[in-house]
Amino acid sequence: MALILNGPDFGGELPSSLFRLKNLTYITIQFNLGKDWSLPSNAQISDDTQLEQIVLKNNFSGKIPSWIAKLKKLQTLDLTMNNFQGVIPEAIGDLSSVKYLNLLGNNLTGTIPSSLGKLPAIEVLILGNNALQGELPTSIENLRTLQLLDVGSNLLTSTIPSSFANLDSLSESYFTQKLCLKIVN
C-alpha cells in the first residue's frame, strides 16, 4: 500500500499514526508548494511496520526526528530540498536496511554523525548543500557497499583518510565547493 499526497492545498504535521500502518510500504509527498509540512516529533513504531520508502520533497520543516531510525525495513529515505534544520540524528545510523539516504538541500547543521558508518546496506549517501561542519567521519570507510557519496557545498574541513581507497564500490564522490580536503597518505 502506498500513500501519495501531491497538491497545493495539502500541508500540516503528518499524523504519527500514519507510521504505524502495518501494510503501508511507501510514502511520497512532493511538489506541494502551498502549505508547510512537518514530521511528528514523536511516533510509536511497531516491529511489524513494513515501510520501505519515504520520499518527502518541498516545504517540510522542523527537525529530522530520531524515531525514523526505528523503521527497520526502510530502504529509501529521501528528504531532498526541504527546510529541515538542526543536526542529523545520531540514531540514523540504526537504519540497517537503508540503501538510499538523501538529505540534499536542507539547512542541516552540526557534524556528520559517525553512526552513518554503521549502515551496512548503504549505496547512496547524499548530504550536500547543507551547513554541516567539522570533519568527515572516518567511520565512512566501513561502508563497503557505498557507490555514491556527496558531501559537497557544506562547511566541512577535513582530510580524506587513505583507508577510503578500500571503498571498492565507490564510483562517484562529490567533495566540492566549500569543502576543503587534503589527501592523507
Could you report the per-residue pLDDT of 18-65, keeping only the tens digit for each?
A: 998 889 999 998 877 677 889 999 999 988 899 999 999 878 999 999
In a domain, 17, yes or no: yes
Residues 6+ apart with CB under 8 A from 125: 101, 116, 119, 140, 143, 146, 148, 149, 150
In 3D, which of 13, 113, 104, 25 has the Cα closest to residue 71? 25
What percentage of the chain reaches a pLDDT higher than 70? 88
Residue 183 lies in a domain: no
The pTM (predicted TM-score) of the whole model is 0.89
The string of pLDDT tens digits covering residues 115-153 is: 999 999 999 999 999 999 998 888 998 999 998 999 989
Residue 181 pLDDT more than 70?
no
In a domain, 181, yes or no: no
Residue 6 confidence class, pLDDT cut points 50, 70, 90: confident
Query: How many domains, in total, are found in the chain?
Result: 1
179 inside domain? no
* CATH (domain of 169): 3.80.10.10
Residue 50 cell numbers, joined: 513494513
DSSP-assigned states of every residue in 108-146 = E-SBPPGGGGG-TT--EEE--SS--EE---GGGGG-TT-
Angle at 131 between CA 159 and CA 183, to 5 degrees: 10
CB-based contact 129:103 (threshold 8 Å): no
Q: Is residue 132 part of a domain?
A: yes
Find the domain containing 109 and state its range: 2-174
**Quick check: is 77 in a domain?**
yes
